[in-house]
Structure 1
Amino acid sequence: MTDLDPNDTPVLAAGCVLWRRSPLDGTLRLCLVHRPKYDDWSHPKGKLKRGEDPLAGALREVAEETGFVAVAGVELSTVTYMAGGRPKQVRYWAAEAIAGRFTPNKEVDRVRWLSPAEARNRLTQFRDRELADELAAALRRG
């Protein structure tokens, strides 16, 4: 029997690349969240609760962080990286915002709805930029 180091077990998380069409001109807009704890811009995401379905967790995190109800679309890439000395694995979905309103909270103090190019420039992490590109390609494919 092998002893497993608990630090080798990934932290499981899920999130969405949240999008909607501009009510003014129909152009694609991506929702980015600003987390004051890290002073970064990212896609809404968070740790899964024990036994929680990843897609349900992703939609829960969107609602908690942005105030928006979303409809999930295609699953996007899973991203793995180190966080706090442990591997973190985040599954992502494309999700269309259908209703809601943002209210600042302890985790997220601002959201921005940006064009894909603007979102790409605002995102802090390169891995998040790749997800924005992946969403845009998925929507072009239909």
Structure 2
Amino acid sequence: MTDPRGPILAAGCVLWRPAPSGHGIEIALVHRPKYDDWSHPKGKRKRDETAEACALREVLEETGQRCEPGARLPTVHYTVDGRPKEITYWAARALGGTFTPTKEVDAVLWLKPTAARARLTQPRDRELLDAAVATSRH
């Protein structure tokens, strides 16, 4: 049976930056203490907020980074407490900023894609990482 409220709408980014070494890229992962997991920055859309505006806001709130969205990535679907959730993602290049730990996100790690892939908690996040690496111009 379909939930009359409709799906939970959210958005986020697979955030990347050129590696400081000058070779390849690094991916930002956020740690959420509530779930003790590592994931890509994302969050629920506000009323009348576009998916892209939500993704940029969530990246800024969770990582302190401003970013430039690039390729649209696959939309992720799963169920939370019996209600469908739909998360729209982009690959996004970090433009700079400063991380400040919060109750929601207490750590950000910048890792090479292979290390980020191993650290991610959810298999669906690994698939997004693979898609972002394949489409990001770096």
TM-score category (smaller protein): over 0.9
- Partners of 2:30 and 2:115 lie apart in 1 by 13
For 2:4, the aligned partner's letter is P
Structure 1 segments, 4+ long, off by >3 Å, are none
1:110 aligns with 2:107: yes
Which of 58, 67, 71 is the aligned partner of 1:70?
A: 67
Match of 1:6 among 4, 7, 28: 4
The corresponding residue for 1:101 is 98
Candidates 76, 79, 84, aligned match of 2:76:
79
Pair 85,99 (structure 1): closer, same or farther in 2 beyond 3 Å: same
Q: What is the root-mean-square deviation of aligned Cα atoms in Å? A: 1.6
Q: Any stretches of 5+ residues in structure 2 without a counterpart?
A: none
- TM-score w.r.t. the length of structure 1 is 0.92
Aligned-partner residue type, residue 16 of structure 1:
C
Q: Work out which of the residue numbers 26, 31, 35 in structure 1 matches 2:32.
A: 35
**Secondary structure class of the residue paired with 1:15:** strand
**8 Å contact from structure 2 (residues 14, 27) kept in 1:** yes
Task: Find the counterpart in structure 1 of residue 128 from structure 2.
Answer: 131
Specify the alignment match of 1:89 in structure 2.
86
2:119 alignment counterpart:
122
TM-aligned CA deviation for residue 99 of structure 1: 1.0
- In structure 2, the residue matched to 1:56 is 53
- 5+ residue gaps, structure 1, are none
Amino-acid identity (%): 60
1:84 is displaced (CA, Å) by 2.2
Distance 1:103 1:24 in 2: 24
Count of residue pairs brought into register by the alignment:
138
C-alpha deviations, 1:99-118, integer Å up to 9, x for none?
A: 10111011100010011100
